[in-house]
Amino acid sequence: MHLLTLSLANIGPYVDPVTIDFTQLGQDGPFLLEGPTGAGKTTLVDAIVFALYGEMSGRDSDDARLVSTFRAPGATPWVELEIETRRGLYRVRRSPAHTRPKRSGTGVTVENSAVRLWKLAEPGDPGTPLTRRHDEADRELEDAIGLTPEQFTQTVVLPQGDFARFLRTSPEKREDILTKVFGTQIYDALVAAVVETTQRREQETQTARTRWGARATEFASLAWSGDLEPDAATEARGRFGEAMAGEDMTQALLLARDRATGVAEAAGAAEATAARAQRDLDEAQAALRAAEQDNAALARWAALVRERETLEAQADAMAAERATLERATRAERVRHPLTAARGAEEALVATRRRLEDALPGADRVLDTPFEGDATAWLVRVDAQRLTAEQERAEVAAWEQRAAALATEQAALAEDEAALAEDRMAWEEAAATAATREQRVTELAEQQRAAEHEAGQAEAARAAAAAAELLIAAVRERDDLTEQRETARRQVEELTRAALAAAQAYHAAHETWLSGLAAEVAAELSEGEPCPVCGSRDHPAPAQPAPSAVSRQRLGELADAETRADEAVSQARERLAAVDAARKAAAKAAGDTSLVEAEAAHRIASDQVARCEAARGEAMAAASAQADEQARLVALRDDIAARQVRLGRQEGALATRRAVMDTQAQALADHVQDHGPLADQADALSTRAAALAEAADAGRAWDEARRAADARASELTDALAEAGFPDADAATAALLPPDGARSRTSALAAFDDQLIGVQARAAAPDMVRAAELEAVDEAPLRALVTTRQDQAQRAHERVGALTRLADATRDGLARLEADASAVADQWESLRPWSHLRALVQGANNLSMTLPTFVLLRRFDEVLELANERLLTMTAGRYELERTDDREGRARRQGLGLVMVDHEADDARRPTRTLSGGETFLTSLALALGLSDAVTAEAGGIELGTLLVDEGFGSLDAENLDRVMAQLAALRAGGRQVGVISHVEELKGRITDRLTVRPRGGGTSVVTCAVPGVIRPAAETAPLLD
């Protein structure tokens, strides 16, 4: 990962928007971020970590510390960072949670933290938006960088106070970092895959054996059921069960094959017996069928004789039925004319009755009454009806004009009323305009007064800021005073504990020396030479005294003494640091008490609040004045427009009134001449309806009369043709349709039945049947029944044995297939079981595959780190990996000890290193990790290293060595930043970012390298 640009505003002491271009820094070596203590150097590191992960770099840092206390009210704090990762270029922009004034009313509201993430094609381009969700942005950036926030601050950014965390962290956390940066998770996945595959194959093998056992049980239940030799079957089944219990698949398969062969042979014998029984049955059934056929033929001949006699007795009745059917056939040709003539006569009567009902109404409006001549009478009726309809249409037109006139009169009245209301509204608007002019003048006076009060805001804010700084200094002075007392008491307690530990060690050491002979004797083994005298015989070894001290106990007491001394040293360092900080705080706070400082802050804050309120009042008054002025101008324009509109409306209404008066006079003249419109319409409608009804009735009667004459003529012709004297004779000969069909069908059936009987009597089988005699069938049926029972039992036995043989054969095939599957599964499982044992530690190293790979990677890191550490310490110190477990559940092989080559290669824990030694070792370890990861294909690229403080603990010679290593690192293409206030570094590093306080708690950052510092773009998209 490489830093490209960092932009921020309203973050810590940095209020103004600023951009730092890291690509222009450190072209020939590391770059320096320098400035006085508290100016804001670490804030820039915090801003980088916050942009990437949404949290601060230090373990005890609070995100709220990022929000500048000197920003303008409502100003948004934000950080924007462009980076290059293994996944490409990204731009991330975050805003921490902060407060702002409420948009309405007084007080403040909390704005939640926000984030936006873009993917870039090249540095500086607008980019493609990815997300505004915190979880999605955090996940995308962590995956692109390849490190968690904690891992990032142990390998890339080494924050002030957390510099040595990777050196001193636990083996488990060290393992997490190494696994992440080297990408060795694949080996854990490989082991998991091997274990999963082996377990799956074990399960498959066990499933195959279980399936074979179930198949064998199924085979036994099928193969030994219904056997002809129960004793032999029981014995064979018992042997098969013993083979299953002993999981002897070979013996079980042999017994199963024998059983399948025996069942097949028994089935063959049963088939031969069944065949003989079937032949006997067939012979008996043939004899019975012959007797049944003769008896049946004799019965059919007797029935045929009886049927012929019955038909011959019905011959006369069938002849009479044929005569009746012939008359009905002739009458059927007259059925339609009869029906038509009767219908026409009925229609004529109905239309005559309708005409008689309509004549009285028509006679009242006609000049001459109806006298029998329908044609002439209908002409007069149609003429009178047409005249009535035309007059009715004229009256309807007058009715429509009257309705339209009434509607227009109502609309005119409404428009005249609306005009009166508009004139009143115009007069009210004119009065309102005068009132608004007075309001504009009053608001202008209010604005001038409020602006004068708000002009004192800057002085009030400066006083409030100074009061806040004083409160912080007083609180820090008081807190450090308590901390100094606590630290002093802790030094005294630890000193007493260290003295007790030293006394315990020296007393135990003297006891150990006195009991050394007993300890040597305790280590003697039979047959082994004594390390003192060389003898292999040990007749009387010395015995330990009751108060003897073992070598292990002595070592424990020595370690306890060392730890106690280290604790005292650390406590004294903390006391000195707290005391120095307290003196600096006391200098800033003076003799001011917390109550006095808080009172001064309240007074200044009240003044700021009053000024801010006055500014709001001025803005509100200005806004209100502008609104009133705008409304006044709009009102005046509206008054003028209304005056013009009123004049036009009055003229239009006068014209409409004149037109309506003319129309109303014409309508009144018509009513005076002809009477009310409704009476005219009713009279004309009644007259037209009576004439229409009479015309329709006359036409219907005339048409019915002509139709009745035509149908009567047709009926006369049809009767003559059918041979009937009159309509009544034809009607009497008619039969219902169903009756004629049933009589015809009955005659046809009688003829067919008679012909059939005669034909069957002449058939050869009936001629033969007439000569037969009856046969007794009972003995033959009894013989067939007996032989059927015998054949059925034989066939049932064949079926049972055949099914048993088929089931046994199929069961044997499945049993053999499952046995083969068990063998195949077992052969497939063996290499996987061996491989699982190897990768899980069953090898000559007793080490799992992921641990083996990770230790090799850690050895590479230590080798590269030691190259730098030996150089930076002039060959004195070297790190060594230890296989000792650090804690009961911790990883083996990831512990560290320091080797001191100037002290006879003595080894000591890394926690005993001094401040300078810790800085050099941590830096060498971080650089070694970076070298190893950069050289590892597929690992995470650690292309950036930021070191915050620690250089003040080095002497000039060690500082030279460290700077040479950092310069070599930059020469390899990596980005190295040093954050320090040590003056000596200014002469060693040319590219420097300088943080300068500018008063009032704010700072600015500058750089002599052109193009590194520039104002942040004001048009940068804000978070919303």
Rounded Cα distance, 643 and 631, in Å: 18
CA atoms within 13 A on the CB side of 327: 12
Return the pLDDT at 797. Answer: 81
Task: Quickly count: other Cβ atoms within 10 Å of residue 43's Cβ.
Answer: 23
Return the pLDDT at 834. Answer: 83
Q: What is the DSSP letter of 628?
A: H
CA atoms within 13 A on the CB side of 962: 26
pTM score, whole prediction? 0.40
- In one-letter notation, the amino acid at residue 639 is I
The H or E element that residue 78 is part of is strand 78-85
Return the pLDDT at 117. Answer: 95
Q: Name every residue whose Cβ is closer than 8 Å to that of residue 75 and which is 6 or more positions away in sequence.
A: 9, 10
Return the pLDDT at 532. Answer: 45
546: three-class secondary structure by DSSP: coil
Rounded Cα distance, 733 and 714, in Å: 19
Return the pLDDT at 50. Answer: 92
Alpha-carbon distances of 296 from 299, 303, 384, 772, rounded to whole Å: 5, 11, 95, 10
Return the pLDDT at 140. Answer: 93
For residue 84, what are its two tokens? 């290059």
Rounded Cα distance, 341 and 714, in Å: 8
Note whether 520 and 543 are within 8 A (CB): no
Return the pLDDT at 60. Answer: 47
Rounded Cα distance, 82 and 90, in Å: 6
909: three-class secondary structure by DSSP: strand
122: three-class secondary structure by DSSP: coil
What phi and psi values does residue 1004 have, to the nearest 5 degrees? -130, 155
Residues in the chain with pLDDT < 50? 59-60, 160-162, 531-532, 886-891, 937, 1018-1024
Rounded Cα distance, 41 and 32, in Å: 10
What phi and psi values does residue 507 have, to the nearest 5 degrees? -65, -45
